[in-house]
Amino acid sequence: MENLKLFMLMLGCKPPGRHIEQHDVFFGIAPSLRDLIPEIQAFWPEPEKIHVDAWREVNTVDGYAVKIIPRNNNGSQNSKLFFINLGGYQPNKFEEQHYTVLTVQSDFASAGKNAKETLFFKNNRFDGANSHIDDKYGVDVDDIYNVEDILNPAQKEKHQIELIPDADLPEDKITLGYFKLSTL
């Protein structure tokens, strides 16, 4: 089997009729970032204008090594990898602040509780404008995603995420910038 990796990308695009750039998070499994280009283009409605603003090869989260293995329907792990998009506000800033969280937890409720413990959640709120887990105020399971659930159907059918406890792993590198798909 190829050396498959889990990638997390922040995609950006200015769709027709919009005044500012729009963003979304994309998860994909491939041997390299470049191998994900066809899936990225299928994911976004305006593929000719899409670019990558940030990406991360997800190797470690919360003291777990993240591995991609063939789908095995014989059982499931107690821990799962969750993606959470936090939103919050700061006084006199005409924008919503965002913070993304990857966490290893046993269930949606634990993932939501973990998100509420972040400094972002505690510091991006004030009377009348509380922090929230996008797109709702308060914690709602619709706003927290098990990463395996948001992979494209072909990847979900073939692969699964294995989480292996390992506290001595280095943090993942996050690459930031404006990257056209042709340069990946």
pTM of full prediction above 0.75: yes
DSSP H helix total and E strand total for the chain = 4, 11
Which pLDDT value is given to residue 47?
67
For 7, list phi and psi in degrees, rounded to 5. Answer: -115, 145
**Looking at the predicted structure, is the pLDDT value of residue 72 above 90?**
no
Which pLDDT tens digit goes with each residue over 76-92?
Answer: 678 999 998 887 777 88
Residue 141: pLDDT band (50, 70, 90) is: very low
For 30, list phi and psi in degrees, rounded to 5. Answer: -165, 165
